[in-house]
Amino acid sequence: MEKNILAISGNPGLYLLVSRGRSTLIVETVDEQKKRLSVGIREKITSLNDISIFTDDDDVLLTTVFENIKKKMEGKPVEINAKKANKNQLMDFLAEVLPNFDREKVYPNDIRKIINWYNILINNGYTDFETKEAQNESSEETTDKPEETA
């Protein structure tokens, strides 16, 4: 995800970093309203690029999970109503896109946030979830492969 999309604790939705001040950040909501607000540096602010999901092996970046959801949903929003879905429905959904997630550390509310954030991003035109590092790695893999001859 090239743009710096933020989650701010205590505030619903997602925010795009617009500018930085001495002790504040200027952010804009990632929705149709594009409402700007000032956020103090004492608020708990997290970039979506820095969030990862617990798995049985190594942790997986949230952007990778978003990419998996995008492939499963063919680029469309998730149809599950995250607010009304029960624990089993949420766990089953995440198991389809991330089979080895840690079922003891990932809670239903975490999955609800993943679904809600994914839908916010897709509905507002943010569809490129790969980070620059992941894009560079995938391009290196394709250039490092030896050519096959027939």
pLDDT in tens, 81-119: 999 999 999 999 999 999 999 999 999 999 999 999 999
pLDDT in tens, 35-89: 999 999 889 999 999 999 999 999 999 999 999 999 999 999 999 999 999 999 9
Residue 53 tokens, joined: 């999901």
Q: Tell me, which fold does domain 52-126 have in CATH?
A: Arc Repressor Mutant, subunit A (1.10.10)
Residue 133 tokens, joined: 């590092």
Tell me how far CA of residue 52 lies from CA of 78, 105, 149, in angstroms: 20, 12, 40
CATH of 5-48, one of 3.30.930.10, 3.40.980.10, 2.30.30.730, 2.30.29.30: 2.30.30.730
Q: Is 6 exposed, middle or buried (0-12, 13-18, 19+ CB in 10 A)?
A: buried
The 10 Å Cβ neighbour count of residue 148 is 5
